[in-house]
């Protein structure tokens, strides 16, 4: 379960329906071209919070059918509707996903006891291992070292996807829980997190830049920091341009230039203007 995991995109058509052929091509590109170690399915990058339960299930099925046992698969099942979270967790477990993950419950200001109950409830109903998905900037939910420790008391919780620029907390977590899996999740901070000995990383830009993420991670593990810094620099030039042009839309556009039918983003995400499509082309030509 260690290494570089792509936060998988999903291909959608103009009607917002899953483009199965396109999704299969995205899976193949990540496995065959970028050679990532795993896929994180139905995360933010998969537009998970914009789609129906049936669509989430179908995506789990298609990805498993395409990837088979070739890479590790993590199913993100988190939902404010706890029955949906349990249903998806059971569904992905039946499909033999290697682990499930759930975003911390958001929108309402849940206290820590409620958050803990959410994870324990999902896990009481499913025979699988869980990776907490912590992304305070989007959920408003920040947990401290002790609270992570309390969640980790449940042995089925095997790790955390740590999506925050808090390197103090990241170092404390690494030190306090050497046996838990910690995935760094801001791609622009991969090297810094790797130096702190994270077990892997999960990221959106790995859909097109997974090969560089693998290099950064492996070089850092070998102590080749200067070399890793060079690759992180190019990576961050790329990420800065992608973020400026529109994150998920630009990644999809770049995939299309690589011959992958990545489709468009679901509403209310907008589509790229012609000018931005041209810019995406320039980004691809410059870096990929
Ligand atoms: C997911 O759930 O899809 C991703 O793991 C989320 C991941 O942390 C990405 N965050 C967001 O998209 C909000 C990052 O890969 C991020 O896109 C990247 O570092 C660029 O800022």
Distance CA 3, CA 202 (A): 9
- Nearest in space to 181 (alpha carbons), one of 205, 195, 203, 202: 202
133 is catalytic: yes
Distance CA 148, CA 45 (A): 24
Number of other CB atoms surrounding residue 82 within 10 Å: 16
**Which residue positions form the known binding site for pyruvate?**
45, 202
Q: Map out the domains of the chain as residue ranges.
A: 3-224
- Cβ distance 206 to 6 under 8 Å? yes
Catalytic residue among 56, 64, 72, 161: 161
Beta bridge partners of 102: 132
Mutate to test the pocket of ligand 1, among 51, 203, 208 (most ligand atoms within 8 A of CB): 203
Is the predicted ipTM greater than 0.90, yes or no? yes
| Residues lining ligand 1, Cβ inside 6 A | 7, 40, 43-45, 138, 163, 185-188, 202-205, 239, 243, 247
Q: Which atom of ligand 1 is found nearest the CA of 135? A: 8
Collect all residues with Cβ–Cβ distance below 8 Å to 209 and sequence separation of at least 6.
34, 187, 235, 238, 239, 287, 288
Token duo for residue 287: 């870096």
267 is catalytic: no
Match 């999740």 to its residue by tokens.
Answer: 185
Q: Return the sign of the alpha-carbon dihedral for residues 243, 248, 250, 254.
A: positive
Distance CA 58, CA 46 (A): 13
Tens digit of pLDDT per residue, the chain (288 long)?
999 999 999 999 999 999 999 999 999 999 999 999 999 999 999 999 999 999 999 999 999 999 999 999 999 999 999 999 999 999 999 999 999 999 999 999 999 999 999 999 999 999 999 999 999 999 999 999 999 999 999 999 999 999 999 999 999 999 999 999 999 999 999 999 999 999 999 999 999 999 999 999 999 999 999 999 999 999 999 999 999 999 999 999 999 999 999 999 999 999 999 999 999 999 999 999
Distance CA 238, CA 204 (A): 13
- Cβ distance 11 to 22 under 8 Å? yes
Q: Which atom of ligand 1 is found nearest the CA of 242? A: 20
Fold of 3-224: TIM Barrel (3.20.20)
Q: What size, in residues, is the chain?
A: 288
Mutate to test the pocket of ligand 1, among 5, 7, 160 (most ligand atoms within 8 A of CB): 7
- Cβ distance 253 to 277 under 8 Å? yes
């Amino acid at each position: 379960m260690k290494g570089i995991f792509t936060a998988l995109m999903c291909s959608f058509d103009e009607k917002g329906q899953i483009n199965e052929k396109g999704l299969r091509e995205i899976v193949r590109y990540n496995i065959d071209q970028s050679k990532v170690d795993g896929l994180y399915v139905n995360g933010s990058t998969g537009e998970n919070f914009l789609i129906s339960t049936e669509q989430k299930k179908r995506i789990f099925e298609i990805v498993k059918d395409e990837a088979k046992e070739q890479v590790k698969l993590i199913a993100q099942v988190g939902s404010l509707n706890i029955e949906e979270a349990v249903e998806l967790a059971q569904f992905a477990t039946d499909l033999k996903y290697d682990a499930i993950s759930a975003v911390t419950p958001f929108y309402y200001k849940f206290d820590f006891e409620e958050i803990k109950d959410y994870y324990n409830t999902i896990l009481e109903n499913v025979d699988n291992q869980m990776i907490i998905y912590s992304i305070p900037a989007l959920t408003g939910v920040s947990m401290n070292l002790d609270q992570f420790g309390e969640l980790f008391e449940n042995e089925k919780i095997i790790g955390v996807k740590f999506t925050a620029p808090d390197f103090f907390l990241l170092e404390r977590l690494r030190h306090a829980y050497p046996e838990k899996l910690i995935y760094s999740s801001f791609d622009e901070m991969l090297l810094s997190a790797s130096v702190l000995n994270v077990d892997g990383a999960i990221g959106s830009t790995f859909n097109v830049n997974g090969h560089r993420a693998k290099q950064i991670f492996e070089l850092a593990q070998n102590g080749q920091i200067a070399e890793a810094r060079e690759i992180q620099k190019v990576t961050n030039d790329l990420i800065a341009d992608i973020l400026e042009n529109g994150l998920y839309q630009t990644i999809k556009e770049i995939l299309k230039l690589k011959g992958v039918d990545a489709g468009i983003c679901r509403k209310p995400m907008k589509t790229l203007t012609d000018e931005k499509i041209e810019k995406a082309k320039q980004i691809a030509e410059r870096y990929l």
